[in-house]
Structure 1
């Protein structure tokens, strides 16, 4: 465990330096959620208004959840890039913990996401979003968001190690943009057709978005929905636990052996 902590800290530093040396990608990932908030909030705000509440108050938690799910794309691209350029093979020859490299990548991604989330929330406050719940609930919402991002990055790390090609990872990662569209991140699920509503309500992004709205005090958990949305905090924790339990061992094994 001490070796994992020491090696993981070293890999965390390596990933943070990597982000510093590639500011374009970092800026893009931080600016995109703000752009989406302004675009959806002002361009589509009147057409997608949520009855009885400001649409931007509904939208901010949804974009936070969608951004956290974007960890699949960033984790996939970075790990595939390392494999494609031979960095992963060089790390395998070093006497370091096999879990340290993907762990460092996942933690670094969460650190960068946390910094970007603070900026996004400041913009959200500027456009009218407010924390209407208690301070403890707001802290829990932030922690839940970071946990979900951490879990999603591990999914991306495994897929990136599996694809082994940064171009293929980039194309596959672009497909993850559809995931928030099939959720309650941007619109309520009540008006969706039956089968599509079921898919959206069992989407992990829907559970996290609903949990954030509940914890921030922006909207209570809706009734008459699937279990993850009716009990969004518990549903989000279950989804995070499942993703971590499945993809952390898979990613470490794939990193260690270089094959499924």
Structure 2
């Protein structure tokens, strides 16, 4: 009788995408929790900019009928998301340098789960910073002149916009060779934050800059948040309705994710 061939060992079952994303996101959040300076620095930086523009520059910048604090806070909150999110590029590059991604790649989980988990963890971080910065904004005089639903929509849009740009920063971190290079690449968003309506009306800028400043994604998002929080006063100042800006803000967010998410996945698979 012919001896039966030995059975091959059963293949190790891989985790589902949802379970894998949940587990790796938890790992990233625990790392952030055990490194409190990450949260502290991101929050302090946002609050410092808020206080500087409120009390140092606020009295010198005309805003066409809106009080400067009500004009400035939607811009500062949006820009703060970019500055807080820049840490994602550094964190990704640091994980690559220390072999964390190599260890995760060796596990039986979908590769996309590692990238998605990184994005979700950093989105949670910027959301926490946004909550704290918003609380300080109310303490220094910011007020909402629209409805409660509009205010919640504004907060949700801020989180969505931050989520979109986290994909940008994660992609930059994957392409950077180390944490220092990733930090440098992250500062490429600075022109978007300063050449926007965050601090001053676009109409006060040189004519050659106004076209770019008025239509780039940061300005569109800021103007949407202004209209949602300040109501008809902001619409009259900006010259368009809330719906006009809201549609463009959603399109920009979707476009950024559609471009940079595939880039991040492709780069991670090639590392």
Inter-partner Cα distance in structure 2 for 1:8 and 1:221? 44
SS at structure 2 position matched to 1:117 = helix
Deviation at 1:230, TM superposition (A): 8.7
TM-score (structure 1 length as normaliser): 0.92
1:154 is matched with 167
Cα distance change, pair 245–175 in 1 and its aligned pair in 2 (3 A): closer
Q: Pick one of 107, 110, 113 that aligns with 1:94.
A: 107
2:96 is matched with 83
Inter-partner Cα distance in structure 2 for 1:147 and 1:90? 30
The CA deviation string for residues 102-148 of structure 1, in whole angstroms up to 9 with x for no partner, is 11111112222222222111111111111111111111111111111
* Structure having the higher Rg: 2
* 8 A contact 1:74–1:153 mirrored in 2: no
1:184 is matched with 197
Moved more, 104-113 or 170-179: 170-179
User: 1:52 and 2:71 equivalent?
Assistant: no
Query: Which consecutive unaligned segments of at least 5 residues does structure 2 have?
Result: 1-14
* 8 A contact 1:71–1:156 mirrored in 2: no
SS at structure 2 position matched to 1:96 = coil
Query: Which consecutive unaligned segments of at least 5 residues does structure 1 have?
Result: none
TM-score (structure 2 length as normaliser): 0.88
Inter-partner Cα distance in structure 2 for 1:163 and 1:72? 16
2:9 is matched with none
- The equivalences for 1:209-220 within 5 A come to 209-217=222-230, 219-220=234-235
Inter-partner Cα distance in structure 1 for 2:190 and 2:238? 27
Q: Pick one of 33, 42, 46 that aligns with 2:46.
A: 33
1:68 is matched with 81
1:21 is matched with 34
1:193 is matched with 206
Deviation at 1:89, TM superposition (A): 1.7
Q: Pick one of 3, 12, 21 that aligns with 2:25.
A: 12
Instruction: Provide the alpha-carbon RMSD of the alignment.
Output: 2.0
